Amino acid sequence: MCSCWSAFGSALGRCVGKHRDNGSVTPSTDHPDSPAEQTPQTQRKKSFSSSDVLPSTPRSGDEILRQSSGLRVFSFGDLKSATRNFRPDSWIGEGGFGHVFKGWIDENGTAAVRPGSGLTVAVKQLNPEGFQGHREWLAEVNFLGQLHHFNLVKLIGYCAEDEHRLLVYEFMPRGSLENHLFRKGSLPLTWAIRMKVALGAAQGLAFLHREAVIYRDFKTSNILLDHDYTAKLSDFGLAKDGPEGDKTHVSTRIMGTYGYAAPEYVMTGHLTARSDVYSFGVVFLEMLTGRRSMDKSRPTGEHNLVEWARPYLHDKRRIFRLVDPKLDGQCPMKAFQKAAQLAAACLSRDAKSRPDMKEIVRHLEPLQVTSDITGQLQPLNYNTNPYPSSRPRPLIVNGNFSHHGNNNSPKGHTHHHRNGFPSPASGGGAPNQQRYQASPRRSPARFNRR
């Protein structure tokens, strides 16, 4: 096993038995939470019985992986065969993680099968020199290995052999929302399909917030679409557990993508579920307007989509200026006005004024035009990149946004605002709850995620 992975595993083990409190590390208590104090987050961590104790020796990265027992463990040879030796015609895209290849595996195992048979998968291969590293790779396994929902992309398994780090997902044949909205030559999405995608993505976020998880990287390239345009969230490398107990936020290094991050998070480094709500508002506005969140090719004053759109969002006489020309007059204006009002609420500068994801789902449901979807399905393009684009992930470095793959982001400062998570007692959470599986409780072993 490579020395960098061994060193990382050792560092990972030192985090066991500790928890973060507003950026500081303090010893954790050994007694179990009382029933009244339990949250979805603490329940997920308790895979040990009350008589179990944390091991005194450092836990390796391999031990963390073994806790995701529902995932298939692939050998590098399995995936090399499944992708036909990672040959160029199996390549379907690349992102901050590395290259993505299309492959075929046995329906119930790990063996490769003949192309076109068995189960079609997307194989992400970690680039050791890329933006994302072992920490993000483990975060992906940790979250997607234990959280299951109709609107989250399914992680089938992983490979952690020698220096190789790969993840195996269900294949999403229609690629990313980003490609459908912005790539030249793509057929325009109809109003009905846009509303369906928005609802599916909102349901995925609502589920995560119910599980006290903050996604932190909600953007069009991370929303993947299956054959009937069902939206599924992907790329959990930056996801974080939400605040525990009476804490209102999580203090973290500022990371994400320029144009999508909530202003209070950029200013303070304090993360809440309402930070995700702001990002949802940006994506929803992109879907309404057909414009990117940041586009310096546009005239001065229109580079930042949110700031350009704000004056029109509440003005019924000028709101038509926001409509994506590709909708070509088929957009119902009353529905568009309601959608614009929802986007405006999500984009409130005051985080406390933003709706939670449960409310957003409730407002999106009346905007669905399900009877029109079937006749609007477009031919599949199996060469579509189903994962984030090849552009480097923009980061915030030393208070400024940078387009380089650099992890040296500053820590946030102290600032308080509302948690934003729905209370388990109130029944808040993702609608359509019959569509997700009960999450296996996550192990007490934790690693110091950003």
Give me the active site residues, please. Answer: 217
Q: 329's torsion region: left (phi>0), alpha (psi -120 to 50) or beta?
A: left
**102 assigned binding-site residue:** no
Task: Please identify which residue in the block is written with the tokens 């996550």.
Answer: 442
Rounded distance, CA 438 to CA 70, Å?
13
Which of these, 384, 447, 436, lies nearest to 91 by C-alpha position?
Answer: 384
User: Of 175, 285, 253, whose CA–CA distance to 449 is shortest?
Assistant: 253
Query: CA of 130: how far to CAs of 96, 97, 100, 133, 420, in Å?
Result: 6, 6, 13, 7, 33
- Whether residue 376 contacts residue 299, with contact meaning beta carbons closer than 8 Å, is answered with no
Binding site: which residues? 124
Binding site for ATP: which residues? 124
